[in-house]
Each structure stands twice: as C-alpha cells, then as structure tokens.
Amino acid sequence: MIDEMQEIMEDFLVEAFEMIEQLDQDLVELESNPDDLDLLNKIFRVAHTIKGSSSFLNLDVLTKLTHHMEDVLNKARKGELKITPDIMDVVLESVDMMKALLENIRDTGSDVTDDININPVVAKLDAISNGKPIESATENSSPKEEKAEEVEVANEEKDELTEEDYANMSPEEIEAEIERLILKRQEEDKARREAKKKKEETPSNNENNSNAAESKNESSPTPAPAKAEPKVEKKETKKSVPAKKVSTVEQTIRVDVHRLDNLMNLIGELVLSKNRLIKIYNDVEERYEGEHFLDELNQVVSSISIVTTDLQIAVMKTRMLQIGKVFNKFPRVVRDLSRELGKKVNLIIKGEETELDKSIIEEIGDPLMHMIRNSVDHGIESPEERLKVGKPEVGTVELKAYNEGNQIVIEIADDGKGMDPDVLKQKALEKGIISEKEADMMSDKEAFMLIFKAGFSTAAKVTNVSGRGVGMDVVKTNVEKLNGIIEVDSTPGKGSVFKIKIPLTLAIIQALLVAAQEELFAVPLANVIETVRITLEDISTVEGKSVLKLRDEVLPLVNMSDIFKIEKILGVNQYLYVVVLGVGASKVGLIVDGLIGQEEIVIKSLGEYLKGINGIAGATIRGDGRVTLIVDVAALMKLAKETHSHTIITDSIETKKKKEKPEDYVILIVDDSNTDRKIMKKSIEPLGFTIKEASNGEEALQILKNDSNIDAALVDIEMPKMDGYTLAQEIRKYNRFKNLPLIAVTSRTTKSDRVRGVEVGMNEYITKPYTPDYLANVLKRNLKLS
Amino acid sequence: MSNQLQSIVKQQQEQTQDNSSNTTDENIIQLVGFIVGSEEFAVPILSIQEIIKPIEWTKVPFTPDFVLGVFNLRGNVLPLIDLRKKFNAPNAEFDDDARFIVIKVGDDLAGFVIDRLTEALRIEENSILPPPDTSRDAIIEGVARKDDRIITILKIKSLLKTEGE
C-alpha cells in the first residue's frame, strides 16, 4: 500500500514537472499578451491542478503556495487584475519556489524543509490579490496573518479530504477514497462537457471577458468570493483542452530508458551481423557465380538487411524526443535576462517539433542555454543604442531547429551588434591566443571561431551572465562531444548567426573507412567534406609545411600515419589519397594510404582501461569480426596541427633503394611441383634474379609476410592447402602488396580461368607450356625492366 | 580452449578430493597458474572469465608498448595487454601454447597475453608471503610456494589500472 502511495506520488511529480515546464513558457508569453484569456486560464488550471494533487498527497506547504498563486491568477483571469511585469516577477518567483518544493519532494518525499521559506512570496501574492503594492507586502505579513492563513488552508483541505493520513489507511479505505475521487472526476468531466457545449453556443463569451479585462482598472480589485459563479463557468470551459490531451496520453507508455538503451545495443549487434552477412554473401557470390542457390541467398540477405535497417530506424525513433523540451526553458531565461540587463528582447522559437535522440537532448541543453545567454548579453544592444542606430527598440533572438540530411541544425540568430573579425583577431592577439602570422592568414569565418577559444571573452566587463571564464570554449567542447560542429557567421551591425549541427543519433553512424599503412580507421562521414586523389606534384610547401591547393583553398596536409605514429612500410605511390576533414571553419587534408569505402558502423567504447586516447573516439566491429578504431576528428585535427611538417611525404621514399638490374630483385616462385619450380627457376635465374621458393599458397603467404623484399611472384593455380586464386586474394588484402606483380603460370587454359585470375588480382596469366624467353619477358615487363 | 578449461577444472576437482581429507576449505585460495617469460604467476580463478587462443587484434595508437591493442570477444571490444612485455620477458613470439586470459574486475574486462598455462592451484592463504620489497610491488599480491616452484600472485585490480604506466 505504501508502494501505491509511492506510485501516485511519482506520477504526481512527473506530471507536476511537466506542467511547470509548460507554465514557465506560458507565463512569459502571457507577459507579452497580458489579455490572452486562453493562456491565463491554462496557467490557472496548472496552479489549480497542482494544488489539488498536493493537498491530496498532504503536501501542505506546496498546497499553500499554489493556493495563493491560484488566487492571483484567478483575479487576473477574471479581469480584476492586470498582469504587470512586477506582478509577473512575483508569479515567476512563486513558480520557481514551486519547482524547488517539488524537487525537495522528489528527493526527500516531503515538502517541509528549512531551505525554502514560502512566506515572503505568499505575502507578496496576497498583497497582489488584495491590490496592495508588493514592496510593502513583506513587512505587512505579520506572523498573525500567516497563522490565520494556515488555518484557512487546513480547513480547505479538510473540505476536500475527510481522511488525511493515507499511510494509515487500509487498502479498502484507499480504494474507497480512489473511487470517490474518480466519481468526482467523472462529475467534473460531465460538467466540463456541458460547459464545452455551452461555450460553443456562446463563442463571444471569452472575447467579452478579455475586453472587460482590458478596460478594468488595475487598482480596483474585488474580493474573489463575489465572483464565484463566473469563475466556475470559465474554469470548466477551459478544461476542455486538457480533456483532449488525456486521450493522446493514453496511447503512450512510459518505458525505462535502460530498456531502450539495451534494445539499441542489441540492434547494434544485429547491424554488425548484417554487415557480416553481406560480406559473406559477396565472398560466396564470387565463388559460386551462376549457381541457383545464390538467388535465394541474395533474397534472404537483402530482406534481412532491409528489416534490420527499418528496425534500427524504428528503435531510434522511440528514443527521439522533441527539441521543444529543451527550447521551452528559454523564453523564461531570455525574459529574466533581458530584465536583468535592461534590454528588450523578443525570442522567436521555430521548429520545436524537430526530433533528436534522448541522449543528445540531455546534453544539448547547457550549451544552448549558454549560447542564448551569450546572444542576449553580447549580441543584442541596449534599447537606447538600438534606437540610435535606427533599429527597432526590441531586439530579436531567433532560435530554430530543422533537419538537414542526417543532421539536425540548431540556429541561434540575433539582430544585435554582430562581430567584427578584425576586432576579434586583435583581441586574440592581445591575449596571446594566436600569433600575428596566424591572424594574417585567418579568414573571417576562422576569426569568428576565435570566440570558442579558451580564455577568450570580448565582453569589456565581466557580467554575471556570461564571461565567467567558462565560456564558449566549453560550449564547443560539449557540441563536439556529440560529434557536432558549430558554424558562426556575423555581420557587424547586423547580427550574428550560430549554427550547431549534430547527428541524429550517437550510436550508429556513417563512416568512411580509410587505411593508414596496413591499419584501418573509421572517419565519421559527417566530418568528411570530400576525398581527392592527388599526385606528389600537387603538394606545395609553405614555410616548410606541406599544403595542397584545392580549387581556391589552401589546405594543410598531414599524413595519417604520422599522426598516429604508424611505422611506414609502404612505398610511395604515384597517387595519394587525401581526405578533406572539416570541423567548424577549419579544414585539414589527411593523407591516407587507401580509401576502403563507406559503411554504417556501431560505436563501441574502448572501455575504462583505454579511455581518453587522443584522436580516437571509440571502436567498431566490422563485418569480418575485426576491430576498427573510430577517429575523433576534432582531436585529430588538433593533433594534425602539431604534427604538420614538410617531411611527411618523403620519409619513406628514401628508405627504398633504387632498383635497376635484375640482380636487385627477389622473385618468389610458388608451385607444388618440384619440376615446375625448376623449369621456372631455369628460365629466369640466369638473368640475375634472386629466387625464393614455396610449395603451396600458405607457405608463400608466410614468406611474403615475413619478408617484405619480394618484388614479384610467379604463382601456379592448382596447389594443395591454398590454391593460386586464394593466394592472390589474400595477398591483395595487404596494402603493401597492392602493386606486387603476380603472374599466374598454369596449365588451366579456359577463358573463365583467365577471368577468375584477373578478378582475384593477377597481373598476368601465362599458360603452360611456355618458352623461357616469354616468361622472362613478361616478368621484366611487370618489373618495368627494359 | 574449452579443453584447457576442462582439464583445469578436472585437476581442481582432483585436488579438492585430495585436500578435503586434511584441510578445511576456508582459507584455501584457488588460483590459475601460468608462465610469462621464465617466471610463474597466478591469478584468482574467480577473476578469470575465460581463456582463449590468440586471435587477431587491432593496434591502438598512443599506448604503451605492452598494450597490444584491442580485440573482439563476441561483440565486445577489450584491451589486450602483453604481460610478457609488461614484465620485460624476452620472448615475445606467439607459439601454440600462448593464450589470452580474459580477466574481469568489476565491470571492466581485459585480455592478457601469457606464454602458457600451468595448472589450477589450491594454496593456503597463510602460506602466502608478502611481496619482496624490491619488486613491482603495486601489482603483486604475494608470493606462494608450491613444491619447488615460487609463484607470484598478481593483484587483479592493479592489472587493470592505467595510472603510473
């Protein structure tokens, strides 16, 4: 039974917090539209509902507070009171106190605490409802009055509840009580429906009232009881709105987030298995081309992959919340802030219905709050300044969210004073954040990004709003933690636009797989701007650093192997692959040794032991079961700036000695027949080549792995253990053997054999018997020997 | 790999039967012994999740050289630590006896490379000597004697700690 009470309490808290969130927003809106009766009624209802529930739960303090709030709001909605900013301050203060009380209830289970004293606020609320000035209220509230009020509240409670101590009730009694409440609710519903009907019949009713509210003088309040009848009517009219809401609530269930997380993990595993299945299918397809069962397999694989993808999206959607949940806080923030700073700011919110993953919603609140505070504090000018430059007195901050591809964009735009890139550069120079040279090279966009540097604050004086040392740099770090990027644009005198782009979900991302030497890395596709193939000649050197001129941009170039200190075993190819990475306004060209392709990957953490490795965001398991590391692009770009030097390309070239004569080359002969090996050896050894021998594919692969000096291989096809085709396939899996000449020497002569040879990566296909000269010539041609 | 475990379990059962006649179980610790380099080490048997044959792993940059990288254990990414490198043992090649011991401490899992397994040990708690002063004290729980062998018992918690490395 205690559990039941607990459950009711929990439900109450969840409901109350949701309502209060809405309340904040509504109140601020009310301030700008003080005559909006709909709003007033909505707000009144919230206070009323919380009062009702809290008295049911014996939360006396909360009941008392909400009771007095209700009084004020009741007057306001009956037009006996005009909501001025001063009154609003008090109402908002009491909402805050309500929040504090609710938090206390959540934490301790009781609303009795020494930390929160509601009496001053209650006194102010009283003063308002009695039409006295607020300032005098605090002194006026003598203890005597307080006591009287308490009694009054207690009486009221008694009216509503015959039994106060629910904890001591028997289950039967509780049931009876609940029955009674339900009955009461049903009656209310009935009344409500009737009222709704009535409302439909007299649609002009509300308007009349709001007109009345306008005309009524603020200073002529009438006691509440006198107007009791219209109060009841209006209250019920308005209750029709939540009635609609109830029906939608019934279609949802609350689910523990852990369950969803668990589900998401399972789906992650499924995605990995799906990738693996696709890979296996591709392997099988190559081998058994044209066989009938392939069709069936293909159908199964594709249907599984479609279902998996749908499932993934479906689960992702269950985790999605509307960003409005975060945005709702901001009208209040902006309102308080602008009053505090003596500015006039209008906050426009758009796209609250845009959905984002729950974990992102939780993380994005603080950075957004900071940026909005920043816009109001630093962006918007004071009313006088604004009038002076011919802008409307009221500044505008626009907060909007929308989808863009796989990303969500949150835009914060203000029409304030904007930022001057030169001023920013100057500031950064003074503070020693950048050097003179860097300042000269900087584009405007890069200059705007300076505000995100640690220790940078343009506010001349430190206000308690922003510029407390922890600033925009924290915002940037937080956004980057979500794999997001920030873009800034600004025109001096016109305003600034901040754009935060974040991925829809954190768990599964699209990535570009690249190779640094033999090692694979996954780069989040969101940060990849493009990939280009360049030649060594395209690289130019500026101040000892390698750069790439790409169209009209100059990109710093860094070799991925240098960043991660990977030993260079590959020779330098004629072509280099460059992945252009972008975070915010800065870009870097990352030289990689191979582009593998785009893949959907599931992010897994590296665990406690290996956490926090610079440049690595996590790991994923690929279709073949291997672990691939995921690059943390923001950290990588930082590392890139440190490693950036001119030696990056030439390092490995010099270690490879020049080869000109046959004597410089080592040839591997792979054949299971001793005789055949001898014939091949005889054909080419006289030219001066060094010969190594292997009697099957496995042996050959071992030799190649252990000895990287092999320059070419002559390979028989039919061999025990591992045949020539498989050998070639295995060899081509290694980046360093990508260009190793492989020459098939075989007695298989059909066309399909030749095609197969080409498919697995053979460079030449020689059929036995052959003349020694022919073999030698083919070999020389492949080694580019004349 | 399961054979290996089975034989250990078997040995243990035999030992249990041997010992049950003369000692009480209360202060007996059960350990799994293994060789790294030329020394014999042991860890508590309950801390071991499983023992597997070496599989492929992925290197991780910016880690000490005894951290070989990470490997995939049925969908989980675990760090792989080469105890031979950590203890400066000369032999760093993988032969047929080499194993990954997957050890669990709290929620953390990690694989450790060892040269070969020896046996499951039952050692009386009060026969364990404190670690010698000069040694890698932080990761050694104590030293035990078994027949003519000296076995170093490793401190599980310290094995999975990153500090000081």
pTM across the whole model:
0.50
- Give the separation between CA A90 and CA A69, rounded to whole angstroms: 9
Mutation target for B interface from A558, A568, A608, A613: give the one with most B CBs within 10 A: A608
DSSP string, A105-158: HHHHS-S--SS---HHHHHHHHHHHTT--HHHHHHH--HHHHHHHHHHHHHHHH
Mutate to test the interface with A, among B63, B70, B109 (most CBs of A within 10 A): B70
CA atoms within 13 A on the CB side of A773: 0
pLDDT tens, position by position, A565-609? 887 776 666 788 999 988 767 888 998 888 988 888 878 878 778
3-class secondary-structure state, position A512: strand
Q: Which two tokens stand for residue B161?
A: 């700690």
Q: Which two tokens stand for residue B6?
A: 């089975």
Helix A228-238 × helix A37-56 angle, to 10°? 90
Q: Which residues of A708-726 are buried (b: 16+ CB within 10 A; e: fewer)?
A: eebbbbbbbbebeebbbbb
> What residues have CB less than 8 Å from A372, skipping those under 6 apart?
A330, A333, A334, A347, A397, A399, A412
B13 CB within 8 Å of a chain A CB: no
Mean pLDDT (whole number) for A87-105:
81
Nearest to B62 by CA among A639, A320, A484: A639
- Residue of B57, B77, B102, B157 to mutate for A, most A C-beta atoms under 10 A: B77
| Interface contact A610, partner B, CB < 8 A | yes
Burial class (CB in 10 A: 0-12, 13-18, 19+), A337: buried
CA–CA distance, A73 with A40 (Å, rounded to integer): 7
pLDDT confidence tier of residue A196, bands split at 50, 70 and 90: low
Find the residue in B nearest to A606 (Cα). Answer: B77
8 Å CB contact of B61 and A615: yes
Residue type, A574: Q
User: Longest C-alpha distance within chain B, in Å?
Assistant: 53
Higher pLDDT: A739 or A185? It is: A739
- Domains for chain B: give ranges and CATH numbers: 2-159 (2.40.50.180)
Cα distance from A604 to chain B (closest Cα, Å)? 7
Nearest to A607 among B57, B59, B79 (CB): B79
Instruction: Return d(Cα B52, Cα B33) in angstroms, integer.
Output: 15
Chain A contact probe: residue of B49, B57, B62, B66 with most A CBs at under 10 A: B62
Q: Which neighbouring-strand residues pair with B58?
A: B70
Is the torsion defined by CA of A567, A570, A573, A577 positive or negative?
Answer: negative
- Residue B160: strand, helix, or coil: coil
Q: Quick check: A272 contacting B, CB < 8 Å?
A: yes
- Kindly report the number of other CB atoms within 10 A of residue A474's CB atom: 15
Residue A265, pLDDT score: 78
| Rounded Cα–Cα distance for residues A59 and A51 (Å) | 9
Q: What is the mean pLDDT of chain A?
A: 76
Option in A610, A625, A627 nearest B63 (CB): A610
Set A48, A68, A378, A644: catalytic member? A48
Cα(A218)–Cα(A204) distance, integer angstroms: 23
Distance CA A199, CA A477 (A): 53
Q: Distance (Å) from the C-alpha of residue B14 to the closest C-alpha of chain A?
A: 37
Instruction: Pinpoint the residues of chain A covered by CATH 3.40.50.2300.
Output: 662-782
Q: Is the Cα dihedral A361, A367, A370, A376 positive or negative?
A: negative
Domain A322-503: assigned CATH number: 3.30.565.10
Would you call B58 and A626 a contact, using CB atoms and an 8 Å cutoff? yes
Instruction: Mean pLDDT check: name the lowest of A115-129, A525-539, A684-698, B28-42.
Output: A115-129
CATH 2.40.50.180 spans which residues of chain A?
Answer: 508-655
| Residue type at position A394 | V
Is there a contact between A506 and A360 (Cβ–Cβ < 8 Å)? yes
Distance between CA atoms of residues A456 and A476, nearest Å: 13
Q: Is A730 tagged catalytic?
A: no
Run of H or E residues at A440: helix A436-441
A225 and chain B in contact, CB less than 8 A: no
Indicate yes or no: CB of A627 within 8 angstroms of CB of B110: no
Q: Is pLDDT of A273 > 80?
A: yes
The pLDDT of residue A134: 58
Structure-block tokens of residue A685: 């050894």
Using an 8 Å CB-CB cutoff, list chain B residues near A615.
Answer: 61-62
Instruction: Give the H or E element holding residue A599.
Output: strand A594-602
Chain A CB contacts of B61 under 8 Å are 563-566, 613, 615-616
**pLDDT mean over A264-277:** 82
Q: Tell me the nearest-neighbour CA distance from A618 into chain B, angstroms.
A: 9
Selecting from B57, B58, B108 the residue whose C-beta is nearest the C-beta of A608 gives B108
- Looking at domain A508-655, its CATH class is mainly beta
Residue of A70, A149, A236, A764 with catalytic role? A70
Q: Which long-range contacts (CB under 8 A, 24 or more apart) does A699-708 make?
A: A699/A670, A700/A668, A700/A670, A700/A727, A701/A727, A701/A730, A701/A731, A703/A668, A704/A668, A704/A731, A704/A737, A707/A666, A708/A569, A708/A736
- State the DSSP H helix or E strand holding residue A349, giving kind and residue range, or none if neither: strand A345-350
Q: What is the pLDDT of residues A97-156, one digit of tens each?
A: 888 888 888 777 777 777 777 788 788 888 877 777 655 444 444 444 444 444 444 444
Alpha-carbon gap: B152 to the closest alpha carbon of chain A (Å): 23
Contact state of A627 with B67 under an 8 Å Cβ cutoff: no
- CA of B141 vs chain A CAs: smallest distance (Å): 20
Q: Tell whether B60 is within 8 A of chain A (Cβ).
A: yes
Residue A228 per-residue DSSP state: H
A706 touches chain B (CB under 8 A): no
Quick check: B59 contacting A, CB < 8 Å? yes
In Å, how far are A174, A186, A489 from A179, measured between CA atoms?
8, 10, 61
Partner residue facing A610 (CB), from B70, B75, B76: B70
Establish if A621 touches chain B: CB-CB under 8 angstroms: yes
Angle, helices A228-238/A205-215, rounded to nearest 10 degrees: 130
Measure B21 CA to nearest chain A CA, in Å. Answer: 43
Question: Closest Cα of chain A to B38: distance in Å?
Answer: 27
Q: What pLDDT does residue A360 have? A: 83
Are B75 and A564 a contacting pair at CB < 8 A? Answer: no
Fold observed for domain A662-782: Rossmann fold (3.40.50)
- Is residue A237 pLDDT above 50, yes or no? no
Say yes or no to pLDDT of A200 above 60.
no
A727-A731-A733-A737 Cα dihedral, nearest 10 degrees: -170
Q: Provide CB contacts within 8 A for A22, sequence distance 6+.
A: A46, A328
The minimum CA-CA distance between B90 and chain A, rounded to whole Å, is 20
Question: Worst-scoring range by mean pLDDT, A175-184, A298-307, A615-624?
Answer: A175-184
Alpha-carbon distance of A80 to A40, in angstroms, equals 13
Task: Please give the Cα distance from A163 to A399 (Å, whole number).
Answer: 49
CB-CB under 8 Å, A628 with B78: no
* Span A401-426, average pLDDT: 84
Instruction: Pick out chain B residues at pLDDT < 50.
Output: 20-21, 23, 163-165
> A583 by DSSP, 3-state: which?
strand
- Pairing mode of beta strands A666-670, A690-694: parallel
Q: Give the whole-angstrom CA distance, residue A436 versus residue A188.
A: 73
Q: Which tens digits make up the pLDDT trace of A383-397? A: 888 888 888 888 899
Beta bridge partners of A524: A511
Instruction: Give the closest of B63, B75, B160 to A621, CB-based.
Output: B75
What separation in angstroms does the CA of B78 have from each of A607, B73, B81, B117?
7, 7, 10, 21
Q: What is the ipTM of this complex?
A: 0.77
| Long-range Cβ contact pairs of A757-765 (< 8 A, separation 24 or more) | A757/A717, A757/A725, A757/A728, A759/A286, A760/A725, A760/A726, A760/A728, A760/A729, A760/A732, A761/A728, A761/A729, A761/A731, A761/A732, A762/A715, A762/A724, A762/A728
Of A564, A566, A606, the CB nearest to B77: A606
Per the annotation, the verdict on A48 as an active-site residue is yes
Express each pLDDT in A430-483 by its tens digit: 877 788 887 787 778 888 888 887 777 655 444 444 444 457 777 888 887 777
Secondary structure class of B134 (helix, strand, coil)? coil
Which residues on A lie below 8 Å from B72 (Cβ)? 621, 625-627
Q: What is the pLDDT of residue A137?
A: 45
User: Which among A269, A609, A614 has the least Cβ separation from residue B79?
Assistant: A609
Percent share of chain A, pLDDT over 70: 79
Q: What are phi and psi of A78, to 5 degrees?
A: -90, 0
Task: Tell me how far apart the alpha carbons of residues A444 and A457 are, in angstroms, rounded to a whole number.
Answer: 18
Distance CA B87, CA A96 (A): 60
- The residues that bridge with B143 in the sheet, in sequence order, are B129, B152
Q: Using CB atoms, which residue from B56, B60, B71 is nearest to A629?
A: B60
Mark which residues 517-546 of A lie under 8 Å from B by CB. Answer: 519
Catalytic residue among A209, A275, A328, A374: A374
**Segment A553-562, tens digit of pLDDT:** 888 888 888 8
Give the number of other CB atoms < 10 A from CB of residue A97.
Answer: 21
Asked if B77 is an interface residue toward chain A (Cβ–Cβ < 8 A), one would say yes
Quote the radius of gyration of chain A (alpha carbons, Å): 37
At the topology level, CATH places domain A257-318 in: Helix Hairpins (1.10.287)
**Closest to B118 in 3D by CA, of B94, B101, B135:** B101
DSSP result, A404-428 = ETTEEEEEEEE-S----HHHHHHHH
Q: Which residue has the tokens 């039409």?
A: A131
A70 is catalytic: yes
Q: pLDDT tens, A335-345?
A: 888 888 888 88
Residues carrying CATH 1.20.120.160, chain A: 2-249
Q: Which 3-state string (H, E, C) describes B75-119?
A: CEEEEEEEHHHHCCCCCCCCCCCCEEEEEEECCEEEEEEECEEEE
Please indicate if any CB of chain B lies within 8 Å of the CB of A404: no
Rounded distance, CA A354 to CA A285, Å?
Answer: 43
> What CATH code is assigned to A2-249?
1.20.120.160
pLDDT number for residue A172: 65
